[in-house]
Chain A
Amino acid sequence: MNHPLIKVKDVTIGFRDKGNVSKVTDKVSFQLEKGEILGVVGESGSGKTMTALAIMGLLSKDAEVLEGSILFEHKDLLKLKQEELRKINGNQISMIFQEPMTSLNPVITIGHQIEEMLLLHEPELHSDERKKRVLEALQEADLKDPESLFYKYPHQLSGGMRQRVMIAMAMICSPKVLIADEPTTALDVTIQAKILKLIKKLNKDHGTSVILISHDLGVIKSICKRALVMQDGKIVEEGTVEEIFSDPVKDYTKKLLAAMPGREKKKLYNEAAEKETYQGHSKKLEVESTKKAERDCTEAETEAKRKSEIKEVRNTDEVTILEVHHLDVFYEENVKKVFAKKKLKKVVNKVSLSVKYGEVLGIVGESGSGKSTLAKAITGLIKDVSGEIKLKDKKPQMVFQDPYGSLNPAKKVSWILEEPLRIAGGYTRQERKEKVLQILKEVGLKEKLGERYLSQLSGGQRQRVAIGAAIIQNSRLIVLDEPVSALDVTVQAQILELLKKLREEHDLSYLFISHDLNVIYQMCDRVCVMYQGEIVETADAWDLFHQPNHPYSKKLLETMV
Chain B
Amino acid sequence: MKNKKINNLNFKIGISIISLVLLFIIIGLFYTPYDPNAMDGTAKNMAPGFTHLFGTDNFGRDVLSRVMEGGRTTFFVALLTVAIGAFFGTLVGAFTGYYGGWLDEILMRINDGVASFPSILLALIVVSLIGPGKYNVIIALGIIFIPSFARVVRSEYITLKERDFVKNAKLMGASDLRIMFVHILPNTKAILLSSLTIGFNNAVLAEAGMSYLQLGVQPPDPSLGRMLSEAQSYMFMSPWCAIFPGIMIVLSVIGFSLINER
Contacts and interface: CB of A to CB of B under 8 A. Distances in A.
B102 A398 contact: no
A469 B186 contact: no
A398 B167 contact: yes
Contacts of B171: 379-381, 395-398
Nearest to A64: B1
B164 A424 contact: no
Given A398-B167, A406-B168, A423-B178, 19 more contacts: A61-B2, A339-B102, A381-B167, A381-B170, A381-B171, A395-B173, A398-B171, A400-B164, A400-B168, A405-B164, A405-B165, A407-B168, A410-B186, A410-B187, A410-B189, A419-B174, A420-B172, A424-B173, A469-B172
B186 A405 contact: no
A412 B165 CA distance: 13
Given A379-B171, A423-B172, A407 B1 contact: no
B179 to A, nearest CB: 10
Contacts, number: 64
B235 to A, nearest CB: 49
Contacts of A402: 164
B164 A406 contact: yes
A405 B163 CA distance: 6
Name, among A410, A420, A473, the residue most crowded by chain B CB atoms within 10 Å (CB to CB): A410
Most chain A CB inside 10 Å of its own CB: which residue of B105, B163, B186, B189: B163
Q: Which secondary structure dominates chain B's binding surface?
A: helix
Interface string B147-167: 000000000000000011101
Contacts of B187: 408-410
Interface in A398-445: 398, 400-402, 405-411, 419-420, 423-424
Interface string A195-230: 000000000000000000000000000000000000
A506 interface: no
15 contacts: A61-B1, A61-B2, A61-B3, A338-B105, A381-B167, A381-B171, A395-B171, A395-B173, A398-B171, A409-B165, A409-B187, A410-B186, A419-B169, A423-B178, A469-B172
Contacts of A395: 171, 173
Contacts of A409: 165, 187
B52 interface: no
Contacts of A62: 1
B261 to A, nearest CB: 18
A380 B170 CA distance: 9
Contacts of B178: 423
Contacts of B170: 381
A378 to B, nearest CB: 11
Contact of A419 (B1, B102, B172, B186): B172
Contacts of B105: 338
B183 interface: yes
A423 B165 contact: no
Interface in A444-492: 466, 469, 473
A16 interface: yes
Nearest to B105: A338
A8 B183 CA distance: 48
A409 to B, nearest CB: 6
Given A338-B102, A400-B164, A408-B187, A473 B172 contact: yes
Interface string A318-349: 00000000000000000000110000000000
Interface string A360-385: 00000000000000001001110000
Given A339-B102, A408-B187, A423 B164 contact: no
A272 B165 CA distance: 46
Instruction: Name the prevailing secondary structure of the A interface residues.
Output: loop
B174 A423 contact: yes
Interface string B230-259: 000000000000000000000000000000
Interface of A: 16-17, 61-62, 338-339, 376, 379-381, 395-398, 400-402, 405-411, 419-420, 423-424, 466, 469, 473
A423 B173 CA distance: 7
A409 B167 CA distance: 14
A233 B144 CA distance: 56
Give the 10 A-B CB pairs with smallest separation, nearest first. A410-B186, A406-B164, A400-B164, A420-B172, A405-B164, A62-B1, A408-B165, A410-B187, A405-B163, A423-B174
Contacts of B3: 61
Interface in B186-212: 186-187, 189
Contacts of A408: 165, 169, 183, 186-187
Contacts of A406: 163-165, 167-168
A473 B105 CA distance: 38
Contacts of B163: 405-406
A400 B1 CA distance: 35
A17 B183 CA distance: 34
A397 B171 CA distance: 6
A63 to B, nearest CB: 10
B168 A16 contact: no
A405 B165 CA distance: 6
A410 B186 CA distance: 6
A362 B164 CA distance: 21
Q: Which of A380, A408, A423, A473 has the most CB of B within 10 A?
A: A408
Nearest to B189: A410
Contacts of B165: 405-409
A405 B102 CA distance: 28
B189 A398 contact: no
Interface in B76-135: 102, 105
A527 B102 CA distance: 43
B220 to A, nearest CB: 48
Nearest to A61: B1
A466 B165 CA distance: 9
A419 B168 CA distance: 11
Contacts of A469: 168, 172
Nearest to A405: B164
Contacts of B173: 395, 420, 423-424
A16 B164 contact: no
Contacts of A16: 1
Nearest to B178: A423
B158 to A, nearest CB: 13
B160 to A, nearest CB: 10
Contacts of B164: 400-402, 405-406
Nearest to A396: B171
Q: Which of B164, B169, B178, B187 has the most CB of A within 10 A?
A: B164
Contacts of B174: 419, 423
Nearest to B174: A423
A400 B167 contact: yes
A87 B164 CA distance: 43
Nearest to B173: A423
Interface string B1-33: 111000000000000000000000000000000
B172 to A, nearest CB: 4
A424 B178 CA distance: 13
Contacts of A398: 167-168, 171
Contacts of A411: 186
Contacts of A407: 165, 168
Contacts of A339: 102
Contacts of A420: 172-173
A408 B167 CA distance: 11
